[in-house]
Amino acid sequence: MADGTLILDDRSSGDYRSSLGTAWRLITDTVMGGVSSAELTLDSVENRACLRLRGDVSLENNGGFVQAALDLEGTRAFGASAYQGISLEVYGNDQAYNLHLRTDDVWLPWQAYRAGFQAPVGWHTVRVPFTAFEGYRIGAPLDLEHLKRIAVVAIGKAYKADLCVASVALYG
């Protein structure tokens, strides 16, 4: 934990692998019958390597999300209680996005601990404290000692998602 920060991904791998060794993957609401569509690509925006989540969020068929998810189980980030929150370097399209966390207490696909953030046009640092996360359809408090997955999510309204992520870290 150098200077109170743990880098989860700095996009230096050149592929979908994070700095932790686990790979980012795309998940859409089609897993539950929705019709949203998206792509997760490796990109460069203003000379910064990034992971780009781009797609159409649709509310049809009880849908409404697209996400880039990173598994943390078995990595140094699995036990995150020494940290205060999550820091992201993002380039957005002036839309609202979410961060979703999954722990051992999350069993159903629609459950997560959620916090929102705004992604303006241009590169910006977003810091989301763990105290901002609220359980969605789950009664257990957020257990930072068993952090299984983090996801950047476009959710809840019909819109065009376009979000670039250059880094993700836990901050102290």
What CATH number is given to the structural domain containing 153?
Answer: 2.60.120.430
Q: How far is CA 72 from the centre of its chain?
A: 12
Q: Indicate if the pLDDT at residue 172 is higher than 60.
A: yes
Structural domain range at position 130: 2-171
- 71-121 pLDDT per residue, tens: 999 999 999 999 999 999 999 999 999 999 999 999 998 899 999 999 999
DSSP string, 27-39: EEGGGGT---EEE
The DSSP secondary-structure symbol of 139 reads -
Q: Indicate if the pLDDT at residue 14 is higher than 70.
A: yes
- Ramachandran angles phi, psi of 139, nearest 5°: -95, -15
Q: What is the rounded distance in angstroms from the CA atom of residue 69 to the CA atom of residue 154? A: 12
* Cα–Cα distance list, 100 to 14, 65, 115 (Å): 24, 12, 7
Band the pLDDT of 135: cuts 50, 70, 90. very high
The DSSP secondary-structure symbol of 144 reads G
The DSSP secondary-structure symbol of 4 reads G
Q: How many residues does the chain have?
A: 172
Q: Indicate if the pLDDT at residue 3 is higher than 80.
A: no
Residues 6+ apart with CB under 8 A from 13: 19
* Cα–Cα distance list, 158 to 52, 72, 111 (Å): 19, 29, 20
Residues 6+ apart with CB under 8 A from 77: 6, 8, 20, 147, 150, 170
Tokens of 58: 């649709």
Q: How many domains is the chain built from? A: 1
Q: How far is CA 95 from the centre of its chain?
A: 15
pTM across the whole model: 0.95
Considering the chain, what is the average pLDDT of its residues?
95
